[in-house]
Amino acid sequence: MEPRRFGFEGLTLENGAFLGPVTLAYETWGALNAAGDNAVLVLHALTGDSHATSDGVPGAERGWWEDLIGPGRPIDTGRWYVVCSNALGGCRGSTGPASVNPATGRPWGLGLPLIAIEDMVEAQARLLDHLGVGRLACAVGGSMGGMQALAWLRRHPARLDRAVVLATAARHSPQQIAFQEVGRQAVMADPDWAGGDYYDGAPPAGGLALARMIGHITYMSDRSMARRFGRQRRGHGSGFKFTADFEVEGYLRHRGDSFVKRFDANSYLYLTKAVDDFDATEPPFMPMAAGGPRVLVGGFSSDWLYPPYQSRAIAVACRRAGWPTSYTEVESSWGHDSFLLETARLGPLLRGFLERPAGNPGQAA
């Protein structure tokens, strides 16, 4: 299914620049009720998109949270009106560096103003207004999507009943910034990057593939790599000394090569910069609002990109703000990818949280 498009005149960004017009690519599943209050906003991670599920349609492309969203699934599209948009700054139909700058008739490239996590949220708020959604039943996301859920809590707490914040941080640590910077430098070191103005020629495929390989290492854990690949050799018999002899080498090269076919290098720069710049610890960390939105925060035991201590800190901050908050730490060996892969464990948590009556936060952090 092709995503729909919503366009509006534009918005003033966090940095003071005006960006317009703006387009968001989005998909919806289920039906909005008469009160307009049964919507669940699903927020994707760094390189995700609006296609979170096929909603059980035979032959349709699987979504990135397929096992959690659909008829009878934990986020039940028979009950909830589910909305997922491609983030502002992305490259899957929403306004981003590859979009045409109306002032020049050419792609924005690096002429696009920097995009903040908060800007993504404000664009989503305009989309929800367009769709007739008044108050969200829940905003849910992991990784960069978790940052967006936090931004929703900070910016629009009165518009939320619940929020689910998974595998993320209130702000990046120096190590997390370092990983992102290495990826950006890999892109910008590619001669085909051409200062970001490569849209009439070859894209910086080698640099972007290398950035993806680096990033993907951080998404897995030592245990999951060992279990999946071990030290198996590929046995291809090539005479070149530095071929991908080990299975893990071949896997990373495959991930890099496939990534460049679906993602824009400049969008990678903009989105990684957005997550580095995000800082939800700036006062107030959370607006004081006793009895405000109920929050579920989740971490994963083997996630070393966003370690569980960062999730616990978010839960404590929400509690101090007076919000009913629960924290869960899922035992998993999949590393940061756990929030995408541990659907059998996440499912009951999400279903229970969505269906729990108001005013009953469950196990407090």
| Residues marked as catalytic | 143, 303, 336
Burial of residue 242, with CB atoms counted within 10 A of its CB: 0-12 exposed, 13-18 middle, 19 or more buried? exposed
| Letter string b/e over residues 319-331, b meaning 16 or more CB atoms within 10 A of that residue's CB | bebebbbbbbebe
- What distances in angstroms separate CA 210 from CA 77, 188, 190, 253, 270, one per listed residue? 38, 11, 10, 8, 17
Q: What stretch of H or E contains 227?
A: helix 222-228
DSSP of 84-128? EEPPTT-SSSSSSTTSEETTTTEE-GGGSPP--HHHHHHHHHHHH
How does DSSP assign 39-87, residue by residue? EEEEE--TT--S----TT-TTPPPPTTTTTEETTSSEETTT-EEEEEPP
